[in-house]
């Protein structure tokens, strides 16, 4: 099989992984080496499926010994298989970088032979890339669940970001759909990464020249809609992962049907892109707006798809509003739909010199079509309907138009009729 054939198989096989984002690393280019990483992130671009693809996003191999029912690369799936050699990946990355196609590498892999064997292949690839090819750019690599601590440590010293995919929100779902994976095989590496990162911080405090372990931290990915788990379960898990393992990001990936299994949605089921979008909005509220998971979603519930999670909270807490823009503190402003962290800070700054009118807010970045229903300026309310109006919800819902934007069809999926039945492989 030639290199381009492998690239088309292993590039397509990696498209289900949503965890592709900016680097968050800051490393200057060096004389004699190739590439650099900057804190504002690898330059973003968008693929035709609407996802960020500024990185060369490939699998090292899709020849998996596991049989996760939700995955196109599972052992029992009848797809073409390929495996890169470490040198092929290193060569492709540097060649693509030179041609300005990419800014960095996102490398994952199916489990080949065993977790540790796959990790060794990944480490060999990164070692070649960093030492022989002198590639200094951004690299995000996946840790294989069940990998040993020594290999995780080695990998973290070569990559900018490392991540372990948790995939499913509950142990029951994992047992049902990914029988070869155990929850501990996923959570233990996350704990190891956190410990290694903290130890590395301490080491670097004492020895400035010590190498940095995974400067962009760790992240994970959760599949949404493959199992009946609710948004409340997903967000509760995300919140505890942020807290326990200091994750930088939890990515959500709407389930794309890739096979038949009695516990999976049928092959013609819609990919829940709007749900994925709402989960990202909720995740944002937890990380940047000081909302707790309990405020965003109630036990066992799903997020409201008709309105964004912040507006949904506002509609359930009308007594909190209207907020007087000229008097409210930062946490209160952040609760107003249509006011974000940047516009809230701009309001506080602008207020130092004058009292604000509604007409000032748009300039400060406030989205008035949502905010105007929940604020007053100098005591004046200017929205089309009052807070107590039964029409309020219809005025603030943003589903219309969003669905159009979210309908990025993932390319080249086989027709549902062609989906193979799940086999033990």
Site for ligand SF4, rule CB under 6 A: 64, 66, 68, 71, 73-74, 110-111, 178
Tell me how far, at minimum, the Cβ of 76 lies from ligand SF4, in Å: 9
Nearer of residues 167 and 276 to ligand SF4, judged by Cβ: 167
Distance CA 22, CA 216 (A): 9
Tell me how far, at minimum, the Cβ of 74 lies from ligand SF4, in Å: 4
- Looking at 178-230, list the stretches that DSSP marks H as alpha helix, in order from N- to C-terminal side: 183-206
Tell me how far, at minimum, the Cβ of 155 lies from ligand SF4, in Å: 17
Nearer of residues 224 and 334 to ligand SF4, judged by Cβ: 224
Give DSSP secondary structure letters for 310-359: HHHHHHH-GGG--EETTT--HHHHTTSTT--HHHHHHHHHHHTTS---HH
Distance CA 276, CA 285 (A): 14
Nearer of residues 106 and 213 to ligand SF4, judged by Cβ: 106
Nearer of residues 68 and 361 to ligand SF4, judged by Cβ: 68
Kindly give the interhelix angle for 86-98 and 3-13, rounded to the nearest 10 degrees.
90
- What three-state secondary structure class fits 239? helix
Nearer of residues 59 and 157 to ligand SF4, judged by Cβ: 59
* Residue 376 and residue 323 in contact, taking contact as beta carbons nearer than 8 Å: yes
200 strand-pairing partners: none
Tell me how far, at minimum, the Cβ of 79 lies from ligand SF4, in Å: 11
* Residue 103 and residue 135 in contact, taking contact as beta carbons nearer than 8 Å: no
Tell me how far, at minimum, the Cβ of 64 lies from ligand SF4, in Å: 3
Distance CA 250, CA 223 (A): 11
Tell me how far, at minimum, the Cβ of 141 lies from ligand SF4, in Å: 14
Give DSSP secondary structure letters for 153-189: HHHHTT-SEEE---BSSSHHHHHHH-TT--HHHHHHH
Nearer of residues 81 and 91 to ligand SF4, judged by Cβ: 81
């Amino acid at each position: 099989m030639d290199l381009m054939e492998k690239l088309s198989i292993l590039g397509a096989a990696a498209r289900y992984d949503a965890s592709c984002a900016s680097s968050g690393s800051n490393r200057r280019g060096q004389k004699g080496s190739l590439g650099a990483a900057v804190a504002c992130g690898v330059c973003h671009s968008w693929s035709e499926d609407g996802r960020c693809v500024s990185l060369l996003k490939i699998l090292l191999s899709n020849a998996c010994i596991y049989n996760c029912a939700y995955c196109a690369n599972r052992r029992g799936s009848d797809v073409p298989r390929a495996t890169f050699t470490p040198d092929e990946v290193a060569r492709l990355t540097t060649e693509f970088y030179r041609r300005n196609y990419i800014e960095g590498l996102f490398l994952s892999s199916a489990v080949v032979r065993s977790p540790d064997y796959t990790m060794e292949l990944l480490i060999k690839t990164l070692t070649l890339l960093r030492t022989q090819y002198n590639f200094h750019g951004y690299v995000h690599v996946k840790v294989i669940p069940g990998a040993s601590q020594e290999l995780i440590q080695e990998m973290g010293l070569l990559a900018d970001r490392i991540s372990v995919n948790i995939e499913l929100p509950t142990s029951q779902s994992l047992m049902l759909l990914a029988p070869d994976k155990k929850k501990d095989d996923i959570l233990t590496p996350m704990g190891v990464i956190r410990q290694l990162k903290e130890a590395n911080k301490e080491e670097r405090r004492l020895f400035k020249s010590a190498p940095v372990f995974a400067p962009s931290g760790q992240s994970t990915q959760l599949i949404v809609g493959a199992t009946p788990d609710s948004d409340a379960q997903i967000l509760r898990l995300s919140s505890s992962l942020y807290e326990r393992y200091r994750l930088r990001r939890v990515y959500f990936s709407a389930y794309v049907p890739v096979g038949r299994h009695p516990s999976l949605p049928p092959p013609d089921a819609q990919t829940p892109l709007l749900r994925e979008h709402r989960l990202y909005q909720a995740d944002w509220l937890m990380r940047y707006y000081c909302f707790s998971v309990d405020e965003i979603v109630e036990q066992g519930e799903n997020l409201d798809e008709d309105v964004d999670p912040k507006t949904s909270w506002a509609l359930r807490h009308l007594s909190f509003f209207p907020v007087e823009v000229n008097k409210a503190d930062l946490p209160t402003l952040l609760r107003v739909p249509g006011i974000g962290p940047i516009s809230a800070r701009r309001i506080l700054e602008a207020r130092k010199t004058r009292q604000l009118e509604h007409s000032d807010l748009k300039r400060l970045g406030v989205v008035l079509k949502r905010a105007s229903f929940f604020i007053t300026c100098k005591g004046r309310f200017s929205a089309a309907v009052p807070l107590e109006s039964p029409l309020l919800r219809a005025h603030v819902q943003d589903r219309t138009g969003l669905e159009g934007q979210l309908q990025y069809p993932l390319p080249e999926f086989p027709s549902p009729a062609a989906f193979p039945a799940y086999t033990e492989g």
